[in-house]
Copies of this chain bind each other. A is one copy, B any other.
Amino acid sequence: MIECALTVIKEPLVEETVKIRVPPSDLADNFGKWRDTGEEADVTFNVRGETFHAHKLVLAMRSPVFKAQLYGPMGDRTARNITVEDMQPDVFKELLHFIYSDSLPSPENPDEENGNMVKHLLVAADRYAMERMKVMCEASLCKSLTVETVAATLALADQYHCSGLKDACIEFAISCNRMGGVVASQGYGHLKRSCPAVLGDILERVTKSPRV
């Protein structure tokens, strides 16, 4: 028996020897920089006493609601100062940040305070019809579910029609014998009062699942 060891020497490709590294997309950086400097801003928002400068065109390109407000037939094309009601300044600031930079604040830090901010951002995303931002908030909340918080998050998911987050909350609650803790948690009473139909959804899921 003859054993042959073959070594195939391939012609070196240029890409293998000299690499031209293409830097990552700088679209968000380019826009974010103008948000930070406020250069050429043409609209000012007043949010509970705090002032934010922005560019009407960028807002309208990113949010259909801003588009209607700033350029639509029912909107005011000459508006230079807009007052925003029912929103905290720090939430509006992060909304603007997302509009320009396409990223949420430190999403890898799922502590309680960040969770509350993400809930407010989900509400803001819903209000300005920023669909992707809303799903990113859902995904962030989904990662930080606990027995203590899941009932409140479920109520929010139901109120803002977040079907993915709602499913995730129910799945989390009925898994691993957590249901007792959930019923005893602070948010459960609010869930029961504000979205009683959701309790039916949980019950139906429980009857299909052998895990409780």
- The chain A residues found within 8 Å of chain B, CB to CB, are 11-12, 14-15, 17-18, 20-23, 25-28, 30-31, 33-34, 39-40, 55, 57-58, 60-62, 71, 102, 131-132, 135-136, 138-139, 142-143, 145, 164-165, 167-168, 171-172, 175-176
Given contacts A20-B139, A142-B18, A175-B12, contact A30 B164 (CB under 8 A): no
How many copies of this chain are found per oligomer?
2
Q: Is the CB of A168 within 8 A of B71?
A: no
Minimum CB–CB distance from A93 to chain B (whole Å) comes to 19
Q: Is the CB of B14 within 8 A of A171?
A: yes
A142: B residues at CB distance < 8 A: 14-15, 18, 20
Q: Is the CB of B61 within 8 A of A168?
A: no
Contact of A132 among B26, B62, B138 (CB under 8 A): B26
A168: B residues at CB distance < 8 A: 14, 17-18, 20
* Complex CA distance for A84 and B165, rounded to whole angstroms: 51
A-B contact pairs, 24 of them (CB 8 A): A14-B143, A14-B145, A14-B171, A14-B172, A14-B175, A15-B143, A17-B175, A18-B168, A18-B171, A20-B168, A22-B135, A22-B139, A23-B135, A25-B28, A25-B102, A26-B102, A27-B27, A30-B62, A31-B61, A33-B61, A34-B61, A40-B57, A57-B57, A57-B58
A139: B residues at CB distance < 8 A: 20, 22
Minimum CB–CB distance from A165 to chain B (whole Å) comes to 7
Minimal Cβ-Cβ distance residue in B for A71: B40
A165: B residues at CB distance < 8 A: 20
